[in-house]
């Protein structure tokens, strides 16, 4: 440790760390626009500049290392003037449409303008006019709101390994765009929405289905139902001003009923169903010499990624639909028959932590007789807006249980929301399917946490099953390269598109505090620890579904409704 002085007070710093790192550890606020925790600094925005004694000019704190005896001022008159100039210049070319922007009151640029007391326009000139890109099914790009911080480019390339967007042109004409300026719909974008989470303005947002859902709810001829993903109940409260990590499951169900949804279902039910199908598929492949390693198919961004970059591994992907699509298919078949409803009159809505789910529900593979399994997907953020539109106070709602037959779940289905949860749930049930006995300890701690890649070898009866869990597609790329090269001998691989899993999905509440994401994961495992039914094969409603309708896992009807296939997607280069 070395000694530095910050704003006249002594501070301990680690030798070799950046000034910004030392300041953040002391809870000293220095604004940033381009900085991304865990990635090398780019120093592009200069918002984090500080004054260092005996230095002839201001230095960017994100990239400048601390030195022993250094004396730093974080808010000197020169520093504040510089930051104010930077923000004022950005505002001079920014649209004045805050009232209509989805990021109003959640915009970093807006917050900095307020923080620096910028109350009038200091610079005037002709503004750039650029067309919005609304071609994608999941994400909307508004280049006029882009401030060229580069965070979307970096997360797409360095975290996700996709590189669908990059800086194009030069000088004053520089912008962020796709290859050849094409729309996102024909780019290599996998719709994960991680760019939306890091964008400091409204330049990137999800494509909203709110108006369509509100319209359906007001149509007396439509029977509108909704399902909610495992990770949503531990993140929706955060969107509504409730403490991060709070489980609002029952309150959310009551709120959705109050809005007018006829039935409220829990996607954790079909997560249990997925385990029964996927676990059976894994056992079948292992016992019968099938293609291994088998890879999960729950995450739609991952599916598009492998279609584009590793089509030779498509036979390795499980044929199971995602839990969202499985439940959607059952709602318009089993549920419709039970209720005497025409599937065409059912509007099936899902609330997901994921922007890629919007793309998934529109895939032609996700329909039966040209009737889509799921009609509309709302992100967690959109669900929060829906509640606000209808004047719902989520915190004041009295909890309700979800509707049966698709309301019962086990905690194995609930932990699907965290990276490693699918694998942990699968091993719990695979152990029973292979040995006929329950695992002595259902907690598999080696598969938990935020590590980008986790591996485990589990002894299940006579079989030694090797498994890996990856989250973030940059990590997936590294593992797949090992598999292709023959350096990894695995039976089962879980892939989550977003770092940390669905709790950090592209449709979740936008937060600069990573502790909020950790709180969501912590809550899911707390639910798992506290409830009694913790294995998918113990879900009585799933058992009933097989008895009354599906027959058996991997059976003829299951294959028709719950399984699908994927094919190669050429990438524009």
- Catalytic amino acids? 278, 281, 298, 318, 357, 360, 365, 502
| Closest listed residue to residue 499, CA positions, set 197, 174, 138, 117 | 197
Residue 466: helix, strand or coil by DSSP? Answer: strand
Q: Which residue has the tokens 């492998």?
A: 306
| Phi, psi for 542 (deg, rounded to 5) | -65, -45
Crossing angle of the two packed helices 77-92 and 108-115, in degrees rounded to 10: 140
* CA separation for the pair 490, 477 (Å, rounded): 15
Q: Let me know: does 481 contact 530? Beta carbons within 8 Å.
A: no
* CA separation for the pair 478, 161 (Å, rounded): 10
**Chain mean position to CA 339:** 34
* CA separation for the pair 269, 275 (Å, rounded): 10
**Which CA distances in Å does 82 have to 45, 57, 75, 372?**
11, 11, 10, 54
CB atoms near residue 564 (< 10 Å): 20
Sheet strands (E) in 233-335? 263-266, 294-295
* CA separation for the pair 334, 207 (Å, rounded): 30
Residue 221: helix, strand or coil by DSSP? Answer: coil
HSE-CB at 410 with a 13 A cutoff on CA atoms is: 28
């Amino acid at each position: 440790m070395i000694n530095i002085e910050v704003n006249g007070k002594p501070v301990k710093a680690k030798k070799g760390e950046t000034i910004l790192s030392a300041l953040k550890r002391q809870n000293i606020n220095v604004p940033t626009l381009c900085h991304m925790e865990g990635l090398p600094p780019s120093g592009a925005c200069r918002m984090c500049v500080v004054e260092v004694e005996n230095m002839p000019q201001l230095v960017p704190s994100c990239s400048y290392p601390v030195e022993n005896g250094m004396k730093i001022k974080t808010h000197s008159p020169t520093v504040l003037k510089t930051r104010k100039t930077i923000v004022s210049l950005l505002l001079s070319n920014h649209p004045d449409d805050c009232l209509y922007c989805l990021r109003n009151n959640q915009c970093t640029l807006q917050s900095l303008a307020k923080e620096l007391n910028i109350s009038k326009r200091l610079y005037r000139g002709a503004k750039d006019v650029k067309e919005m890109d609304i071609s994608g099914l999941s994400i909307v790009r508004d280049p006029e709101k882009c401030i060229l911080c580069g965070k979307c480019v970096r997360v797409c390339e360095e975290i996700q390994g996709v590189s669908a967007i990059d800086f194009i042109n030069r000088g004053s004409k520089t912008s962020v765009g796709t290859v050849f300026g094409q729309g996102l719909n024909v780019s290599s974008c996998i719709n994960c929405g991680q760019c939306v989470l890091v964008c400091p303005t409204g330049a990137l947002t999800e494509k909203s289905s709110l108006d369509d859902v509100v319209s359906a709810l007001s149509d007396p001829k439509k029977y509108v139902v909704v399902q909610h993903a495992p990770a949503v109940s531990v993140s929706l409260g955060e969107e509504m001003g409730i403490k991060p990590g709070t489980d609002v499951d029952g309150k959310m169900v009551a709120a959705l009923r109050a809005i007018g949804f006829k039935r409220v279902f829990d996607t954790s039910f079909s997560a249990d169903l997925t385990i029964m199908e996927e676990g059976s598929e894994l056992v079948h492949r292992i016992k019968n010499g099938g293609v291994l390693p088998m890879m999960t198919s729950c995450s739609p961004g991952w599916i598009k990624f492998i279609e584009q970059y590793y089509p030779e591994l498509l036979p390795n992907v499980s044929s199971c639909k995602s839990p969202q699509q499985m439940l959607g298919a059952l709602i318009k078949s089993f549920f419709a028959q039970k209720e005497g409803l025409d599937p065409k009159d059912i509007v099936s809505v899902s609330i997901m932590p994921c922007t890629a789910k919007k793309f998934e529900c529109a895939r032609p593979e996700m329909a039966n007789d040209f009737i889509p399994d799921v009609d509309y997907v709302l992100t967690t953020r959109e669900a929060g807006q829906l509640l606000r539109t209808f004047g719902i106070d989520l915190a004041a709602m009295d909890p309700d249980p979800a509707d049966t037959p698709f309301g019962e779940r086990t905690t194995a289905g609930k932990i699907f929301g965290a990276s490693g949860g699918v694998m942990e749930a699968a091993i719990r049930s695979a152990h029973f399917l292979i040995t006929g006995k329950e695992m002595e300890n259902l907690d598999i701690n080696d598969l938990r946490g935020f590590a980008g890649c986790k591996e485990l070898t589990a002894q299940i009866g006579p079989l030694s099953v090797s498994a890996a869990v990856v989250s973030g597609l940059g990590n997936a790329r590294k593992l797949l390269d090992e598999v292709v090269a023959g350096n990894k001998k695995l039976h089962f691989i879980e892939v989550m598109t977003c770092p940390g899993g669905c709790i950090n999905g592209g449709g979740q509440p936008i937060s600069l505090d990573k502790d909020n994401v950790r709180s969501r994961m912590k809550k899911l495992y707390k639910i798992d620890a506290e409830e009694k039914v913790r294995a998918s094969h113990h879900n009585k409603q799933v058992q009933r579904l097989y008895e009354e309708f599906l027959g058996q896992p991997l059976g003829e009807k299951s294959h028709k409704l719950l399984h699908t296939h994927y094919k190669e997607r050429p990438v524009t280069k």
